[in-house]
Amino acid sequence: MPGDYNGNGIWCIAEIRHGALVPTIYELLTAGRGLATALGQPLCAVVIGGPGKASQAATAVAPRGADKVYVVEHAALDAFLDEAYGAALKGLIEKERPAKVLFSASAAGRSLAARVSVLCGGGLASDVTEVSVNGDKHLQALRPVYAGNLISQVSVRRGPEMATVRPMAYSRSEAAGKTGEVVPHAVDPSAWNLRSKVLGFTPEESKEIDLSSAERIVSGGRGLGNPKGFELIRELAHSLGAAVGASRAAVDSGWIPYRHQVGLTGRTVRPRLYVACGISGQIQHLAGMSSSDFIVAINSDPEAPLMKIANLAVEGDLYQIIPAVIAEIQKQRGEAGTPAAAAH
Ligand SMILES: Cc1cc2nc3c(=O)[nH]c(=O)nc-3n(C[C@H](O)[C@H](O)[C@H](O)COP(=O)(O)OP(=O)(O)OC[C@H]3O[C@@H](n4cnc5c(N)ncnc54)[C@H](O)[C@@H]3O)c2cc1C
């Protein structure tokens, strides 16, 4: 029955991906702190992983705003497997009874949250961009629906109330000046009924900087005119140590793979520098990048929406401006060379 569950504490579930802590936990801690303050409840992180890995990650998480960090560590949890992680988390939730549980809306987080919500009987709001509590102290969330054309407000009424939070929807928590208490939680995998196992992991062979965690991004749009325009974008990105992004128009034109798309139906990014080249700045694109610290727009149309919100709006033909910028960077660094002129 909704309302029968009396939990205490806001939990944020950390993710360890191939041995490394994913920094989205710090975004969850920012989101969770708002709920914890509103409810007057403790904010806790949960780190699940293989021997040594979870406890190492917990030492990184503990100073970043959590009052308590639960560590669930076992060889059976070395690689992410939602059946195993779900069983481990269910045991911890049944023992400690948190009020709200936040996961990252990553591939692993989405899978784990759905499983845990069924195992524990709690309601789940998926892929949300904002969390709060309503007058009844239930979890309330904003989530884009119909491919982002509408934003719906949902309320989760069955505890433990859960949500998956879209990466980059919140800023990352900083060191809080105090270190949360680290609490180990032992598990016994012999009781788990696992029907799958991880055989191995083959990383994608790409030297590109990952878009979602990039500090600098150079993006290209329809204004490039053709797929070869991305050679120039890549060259500018390379000289800035930046990742390559794109508008949906460029992706839909087949100029660059979908994994580069920024926006409502692509990635949400929050870099320190975002350079938009030949992108008009429709609302769906802005939804994915407008939280960037410093935005540079290069566009021949001074009335383009992105030119209006940019910190630096450069009016002109990108095929003249970008090579000049690259040449200047090379000059400043004392490097020889002429920027490759992309076919126009
Ligand atoms: C449900 C839905 C979801 C969507 N999701 C996304 C999303 O996730 N991401 C996204 O990006 N879009 C998304 N869109 C599409 C979005 O509405 C726009 O159509 C798209 O962002 C436009 O891409 P663009 O800015 O590259 O192209 P355009 O709007 O065509 O803009 C091209 C720009 O290039 C400039 N330009 C042209 N030539 C030059 C030149 N030589 N030098 C300099 N500037 C030049 C033009 O002045 C213009 O401003 C979505 C749409 C819908 C309906």
Q: Which of 126, 158, 191 is the last residue of a domain?
A: 191
Claim to verify: residue 250 and residue 292 sit in the same structural domain: yes
Q: What is the pLDDT of residue 147?
A: 62
Claim to verify: residue 171 and residue 264 sit in the same structural domain: no
Average pLDDT over residues 310-337: 91
Please tell me the distance between residue 205's alpha carbon and the centre of ligand 1 in angstroms. Answer: 29
Claim to verify: residue 159 and residue 220 sit in the same structural domain: no
Q: Is residue 277 in a domain?
A: yes
Contact 170, 154 (CB under 8 A): no
Q: Is residue 198 in a domain?
A: no
Whether the per-residue pLDDT at 339 is higher than 90: the answer is no
Cα 149 vs. chain centroid, distance in angstroms?
21
Residue 89: which domain range?
10-191
Please tell me the distance between residue 306's alpha carbon and the centre of ligand 1 in angstroms. Answer: 10
Q: Is residue 339 in a domain?
A: no
Please tell me the distance between residue 141's alpha carbon and the centre of ligand 1 in angstroms. Answer: 29
Claim to verify: residue 176 and residue 28 sit in the same structural domain: yes
Whether the per-residue pLDDT at 166 is higher than 80: the answer is yes
Average pLDDT over residues 61-79: 96
Q: Ligand 1: which residues within 6 Å by Cβ?
A: 147-149, 221-223, 247-250, 261-266, 278-280, 282, 284-285, 288, 298-301, 304, 317-319
Q: What is the pLDDT of residue 148?
A: 66
pLDDT band of residue 336 (cuts 50, 70, 90) is low
Six-digit token pair at 3? 């309302």
Please tell me the distance between residue 275's alpha carbon and the centre of ligand 1 in angstroms. Answer: 14
- What is the residue with the minimal CA distance to atom 14 of ligand 1? 284
Claim to verify: residue 178 and residue 273 sit in the same structural domain: no
Ligand 1, residue 317: give the atom nearest the CA: 42
Whether the per-residue pLDDT at 1 is higher than 60: the answer is no
Claim to verify: residue 176 and residue 274 sit in the same structural domain: no
Claim to verify: residue 97 and residue 180 sit in the same structural domain: yes
- What is the residue with the minimal CA distance to atom 19 of ligand 1? 249
Q: Is residue 200 in a domain?
A: no
Whether the per-residue pLDDT at 201 is higher than 80: the answer is yes
Whether the per-residue pLDDT at 343 is higher than 60: the answer is no
Domain count along the chain: 2
Q: Is residue 4 in a domain?
A: no
* Among 326, 299, 336, CA closest to 237: 326
How many CA atoms within 13 Å lie on the side-chain side of 43?
26
pLDDT band of residue 202 (cuts 50, 70, 90) is confident
Look up the CATH number of the domain holding residue 68.
3.40.50.620
Please tell me the distance between residue 315's alpha carbon and the centre of ligand 1 in angstroms. Answer: 16
Claim to verify: residue 285 and residue 251 sit in the same structural domain: yes
Q: Which of 159, 191, 223 is the last residue of a domain?
A: 191
Q: Is residue 3 in a domain?
A: no
Question: Which pairs count as long-range contacts for 260-264, CB under 8 Å and 24+ apart, including other chains?
Answer: 260/211, 260/219, 262/211, 262/217, 262/219, 262/288, 262/289, 263/287, 263/288, 263/289, 264/144, 264/147, 264/148, 264/288
pLDDT tens digits for 21-45?
999 999 999 999 999 999 999 999 9
Ligand 1 mutation target, pool 222, 262, 277, 315, most atoms within 8 A of CB:
222
Look up the CATH number of the domain holding residue 255.
3.40.50.1220
Q: Which of 124, 157, 191 is the last residue of a domain?
A: 191
Claim to verify: residue 44 and residue 139 sit in the same structural domain: yes
Q: Is residue 125 in a domain?
A: yes
Ligand 1, residue 304: give the atom nearest the CA: 49
Please tell me the distance between residue 282's alpha carbon and the centre of ligand 1 in angstroms. Answer: 6
Ligand 1, residue 265: give the atom nearest the CA: 8
Claim to verify: residue 178 and residue 242 sit in the same structural domain: no
Claim to verify: residue 59 and residue 128 sit in the same structural domain: yes
Ligand 1, residue 264: give the atom nearest the CA: 8
Please tell me the distance between residue 143's alpha carbon and the centre of ligand 1 in angstroms. Answer: 23
Please tell me the distance between residue 265's alpha carbon and the centre of ligand 1 in angstroms. Answer: 13
Q: Is residue 156 in a domain?
A: yes
pLDDT tens digits for 76-120?
999 999 999 999 999 999 999 999 999 999 999 999 999 999 999
Claim to verify: residue 146 and residue 253 sit in the same structural domain: no
